[in-house]
Structure 1
């Protein structure tokens, strides 16, 4: 019996990795599909509301699609504006970085007796230019995926209002009622999670933008947008989002070290308050994921779909946890995926 269970476990692991390999190979299609699936939980209730107000389904989906396109349009204008601002300041920061590098090499050679030529000379203008070319290629790829996301989203939204009627006709009355209640609960919880997470990330981005503006750190709006996107990745994302503005403050205010330190304190304080105080109060302890689950999801989806996979990893895993929580046989898995805070409180009360 033990050998049979071990064999089942090994086969399960192999199946998971086989599916992950297939998903990795099909990422060109699956990444837009997953993004559209997550967006459907935010846009779906809007379509359902409009349909209940006697607005034709096609017109309701078209209205929501126009709203999504408008947001994408604003995002495109934002990115173009940020790129133009950076290009305008590019020579200044390239020269500043070159000065910092030359000073560092001089100090190493004079004070620490490191021989000249021990480190390779770096042309910072050329290096930054290379990074800009890579970033532009990434943006072009994202624009191509956006079209597929919108196509998938339209078809998903067109089918959402009829799902409950299909369930009612596909199963006996008692089973249909139970199945419908479970799916409605899952959809509602996922929608609430994504909406609250979107609001928290947006608030974090605004606070970072305001703080950096008051500190007079350049490109404050860009770093606020970066904090918004990376806030979807708990703990690690907030740290990564804080690194570029801190480094920029170090370059901007060189040779002073106090402004970068103060910038670091302010940014980390914002991230800690939003991530450790505000978010748990709004989402509740039941939706908190275990740090191990977060780490594994980042590694797994990052390996499978790259940076986009890492950004989507936590929302996807949170969605899986919500689904498991609403299905009786999978509730133990949902508990194991959680942080355990709710379990600890219930144990202390009892």
Structure 2
């Protein structure tokens, strides 16, 4: 029983039901929630630029216009690159139809040589259609473009949030006296989100440049597209590396055969796995405040709720939920420990182990 007299199991079930209802509601209005969270994340990312301009007594209009221009330049550049690459893929696709059909025929002969020439296997191989494969690749690009299709709404939200950001900062500072836990949680959320974005962007750019160079050397078509895709998928935790590897590996198979495909896989593993698994975590450290399990679960949940945009914003969304529901609660230390995978810090008064009572000694008055 809890202090309020309600069974803890009942509280857990009610909270779980409320979470399911809330996520279903967010999914229903995902076309609005997604751009709002994306705009909020971008405003947080460029907040140091606005702070630097404010410290140097720049005009207010410049404090709003310059960070907004930086964000818009990045968004429009990504849209332009993805649109151009999608058009190039549509033009290049028909030239690989013969190679794809020859590869399917070789697979049929290879399976027959191993004694697997059954009708079911031949039917499955013959059902492979190059048009379907290219259509799937184009649908993936279309989904990425769909994430940025509501550009007008994002621009309006960016402008509004950029104008209100200084006011919100002063409100949070003023709330530190009355709601210290909430103010500290919101400040921690902005710090962790900004550090996550900065570190992920820097290492994503490094991986993308090296991937483009490797694809150029291996003569894989559209290397710039796959470099941009590697940068975007770097923000998707756990499985982003695999999503960025599949398209260039398939094109390498069609362009140069199995050897080229294996070289692409080896190059991506050597570049991305080493940087993202061994170097990047040392710089990111514990700033995110999410365990590996919590990160993977957040990817699944937010991808289900908001689609591709939810996968890209899985970490910021989880950090926002943690700030509002866990970190703002003074009694949520153990819940934060379960999410982050770290024991909560003990207060100085409780750090000393209690001394056992000695029998026969009088109690202190």
TM interval, shorter chain, is 0.7 to 0.9
Distance (whole Å) between structure 2 residues aligned to residue 90 and residue 59 of structure 1: 46
CA deviations on 1:104-146 (whole Å, 9 max, x unpaired) are: 2234346526256840534734324533663565356334322
* CA separation of 1:314 and 1:166: change in aligned 2, threshold 3 A: closer
- Which among 116, 119, 138 is matched to residue 123 of structure 2? 119
Distance (whole Å) between structure 2 residues aligned to residue 137 and residue 280 of structure 1: 31
Distance (whole Å) between structure 2 residues aligned to residue 206 and residue 278 of structure 1: 16
Correspondence for 1:73 = 76
Cα-Cα RMSD: 3.1
TM-score, length basis structure 2: 0.81
- Which among 130, 135, 153 is matched to residue 130 of structure 1? 135
- Show structure 1 runs of 5+ residues with no match: 344-350
- Which among 234, 237, 255 is matched to residue 234 of structure 1? 237
Q: Secondary structure at the match of 1:193?
A: helix
Aligned residues: 339
Shift of 1:27: 0.3
* CA separation of 1:84 and 1:157: change in aligned 2, threshold 3 A: same
Q: Tell me which structure has the larger Cα radius of gyration.
A: 2
Distance (whole Å) between structure 1 residues aligned to residue 299 and residue 173 of structure 2: 38
Correspondence for 2:161 = 156
Correspondence for 1:11 = 14
- Which among 334, 337, 344 is matched to residue 335 of structure 1? 337
Shift of 1:11: 0.2
TM-score, length basis structure 1: 0.84
CA contact (8 A) 2:195 2:287 kept: no
Q: Secondary structure at the match of 2:263?
A: helix
Distance (whole Å) between structure 2 residues aligned to residue 109 and residue 15 of structure 1: 56
Stretch of structure 1 that moved more, 135-144 or 20-29: 135-144
Stretch of structure 1 that moved more, 74-83 or 93-102: 74-83
CA contact (8 A) 1:239 1:268 kept: no
Shift of 1:185: 4.7
Shift of 1:78: 1.4
- Show structure 2 runs of 5+ residues with no match: 346-365
CA contact (8 A) 1:168 1:176 kept: no
Correspondence for 1:103 = 106
CA contact (8 A) 1:47 1:57 kept: no
CA contact (8 A) 2:36 2:157 kept: yes
State how 1:28-67 maps to structure 2 within 5 Å. Answer: 28-67=31-70
Distance (whole Å) between structure 2 residues aligned to residue 286 and residue 123 of structure 1: 46
CA contact (8 A) 2:182 2:328 kept: no
Correspondence for 2:250 = 247
Shift of 1:228: 1.1
CA contact (8 A) 2:212 2:224 kept: yes
Shift of 1:155: 1.3
CA deviations on 1:17-44 (whole Å, 9 max, x unpaired) are: 0100100001010000111111111122
- Which among 189, 197, 212 is matched to residue 215 of structure 2? 212
